[in-house]
Structure 1
Amino acid sequence: MSSYSRQDVLRILQISARQLQGWERAGLIDPQQTYTFQDLGQLRILRGLREDDVPAASIRHSIRAMKAVAGMTNPLLEATVVRTGSTRIAFRHLGAMVDPIRRQLLFDFERAGQKEAMAEPAPLRPRGVDPQRNQQDLFLAAVQAEEAGERQRAIGLYEQIIAADPTYAAAFINLGTIYFHLRQYGRAEELYRRATEVDPDYVLAFFDLGNVLDELDRPEESIAAYEQAVALAPRYGDAHYNLALAYERKGDLRNALRHWQSYLRLDRTGPWADHARGQIRKLLSREKLAIAWRAEKYVAPPSGKSALRLAKSWESE
């Protein structure tokens, strides 16, 4: 595989050393001395986004959220970046367009336009409504209503979609999220559960269900939902984070530690990573104290090794 030096990258992409260092400090790419062809592809995308004045923080948060939602290693290369506003981006992946920050599916205006432009003239047929096309139009209208702040209109449209197609999982999720923000948690739970039933592989549905069950103070059910999300997408960082919090509240420190460590392996920079490190230090310190308190008498460690080895080996699990 070809490798490129930092100077090669600056020359090929026509960027300055200061720009590259700024992207590294912002957490958009890991600092390194040599780069692969894939790295060049990622940097080209970053350059385009920054030239379009998309804030570095917005790019970083969207990448992190997409890793969590889709279990991706590098969303900039594994999905197509789509600009959705002056400061926001979404990702096109597996035929759908995802806003990872809001955890919602969006209507893909560009793809819809392409399909219409490329379609062959339809044969004459009796007038009527194409059910699939009608559902797409309704979903688009619901998303637009949400964007415009017309919450009640969006609710009505999502309800209409669900009534016509009880398997439309994306509508259940988006409608559930509206009710979640309205603090109507019972209704949100019902909608999220329906999404998990109609699509048992829908990772986001289990994550959102875990969130609402947590709000309803039902920790065992919440943990079960988060665990299912992690089972479906082991690289779902947000699910590991919430699981760690849930296990801590339950008093299950060993499982809390395990999920804090899993989260930190997926996200090593930023405030959430700093919080995870702090919790790991606290839990390890607490375990050392617990081990010392349980000991009935002093037992010298074999071969002069430190008695703290137990805690350290646990940390690396």
Structure 2
Amino acid sequence: MRLKRELPDELPLSGIRVAVEGDAIVVKTGPSRWDAITGQMLLDFEVAEVKGDVVLLDASPERKSVAAAQARERYELAEQLVKTDADAAERHYRRAIELASEPFYAAYVDLGALLCEQEHQCGKALEVFDEALRHFPDDAILHFNRAVALDTMGRLEEARASYERCLTLNPDYADAHHNLAMLLEKRGDRRGLIRHLNAYRRLSS
């Protein structure tokens, strides 16, 4: 049953409640409501008439804080599921990103890392990192993770550029020096290999 698969091993502090609303089975966790069958987040709306047109108005005066709470709950569900059900964790990370009123940095990073752990998903991970970098263009971690995805896919020149961008932003990023050293060894650049390997050893000692 989908509902059972998507529930975490440990319930959130707010608890989980299941109810029937019309023809839908609705799961409630704290301020969040989502369809147990589709996983779709449900929002409360009221209808108002404006100049003869019917429009939807957000019923909550604190829409952004509610959206942030819903996004956080989805993120926490993903964190609990990441080691036991990667597919469900991916869905919750993506929903957290969609629901967040502002770009959800941690969800981008963790979703991309989850996908990159599965080699056949590195292309999807790259899409996640590229989207995140549109919001956080100067984040060294995102550039590093993007480089790892490219490296795994065998796109070595692009990976090299991403590692170098990471190190421009954070010259003390030890793992970037290490990975770039290994990449340069593959490319036959012994001078680059030694330089970045020495930097890695210095930073790791």
TM beyond 0.5: yes
Quick one: which amino acid aligns to residue 203 of structure 2?
L
| Gapped regions of structure 2 (runs ≥ 5) | 1-11, 13-58
Figure out how many residues of one structure are paired with residues of the other and give that number: 144
Point out the structure with the larger strand share.
2
Distance 2:144 2:167 in 1: 9
Determine which of 143, 159, 162 is the counterpart of 2:94. Answer: 159
TM-score when normalising by structure 1 = 0.42
**Structure 1 residue 237, shift from structure 2 partner:** 0.6
Distance 1:205 1:186 in 2: 15
Distance 1:203 1:237 in 2: 12
**Structure 1 residue 139, shift from structure 2 partner:** 1.2
Identical counterparts, % of pairs: 30
**Structure 1 residue 201, shift from structure 2 partner:** 2.5
1:201 counterpart residue number: 138
Q: Structure 1 residues 137 and 256, CA, compared in 2 at 3 Å: closer, same or farther?
A: same
Q: Which runs of 4+ in 1 moved over 6 A?
A: none
Q: What SS does the aligned partner of 1:222 have? A: helix
1:140 counterpart residue number: 76
Pairing of 1:262-277 with structure 2 (within 5 A): 262-268=199-205
Contact 1:180 1:212 (8 Å CA) reproduced? yes
2:184 counterpart residue number: 247
Q: Confirm whether residue 216 of structure 1 aligns to residue 153 of structure 2.
A: yes
Point out the structure with the larger helix share.
1
Distance 1:176 1:151 in 2: 12
1:227 counterpart residue number: 164
Q: What SS does the aligned partner of 1:251 have? A: coil
Q: Structure 1 residues 128 and 265, CA, compared in 2 at 3 Å: closer, same or farther?
A: closer
Q: Deviations over 1:223-268 (max 9, x none)?
A: 1111111111111111000111111111122122111111111123
Distance 1:187 1:239 in 2: 21
Tell which structure's C-alpha radius of gyration is larger.
1
2:125 counterpart residue number: 188
User: RMSD over aligned Cα, in angstroms?
Assistant: 2.2
Contact 1:213 1:222 (8 Å CA) reproduced? yes
Quick one: which amino acid aligns to residue 180 of structure 1?
C
Distance 1:180 1:162 in 2: 18
Q: Confirm whether residue 173 of structure 1 aligns to residue 109 of structure 2.
A: yes
| Gapped regions of structure 1 (runs ≥ 5) | 1-108, 110-124, 269-317
Contact 1:170 1:195 (8 Å CA) reproduced? no
Q: Deviations over 1:177-213 (max 9, x none)?
A: 2221222111111111222221122221111111111
Q: What SS does the aligned partner of 1:200 have? A: coil
Contact 2:68 2:99 (8 Å CA) reproduced? no
Quick one: which amino acid aligns to residue 152 of structure 1?
D
Quick one: which amino acid aligns to residue 124 of structure 2?
R
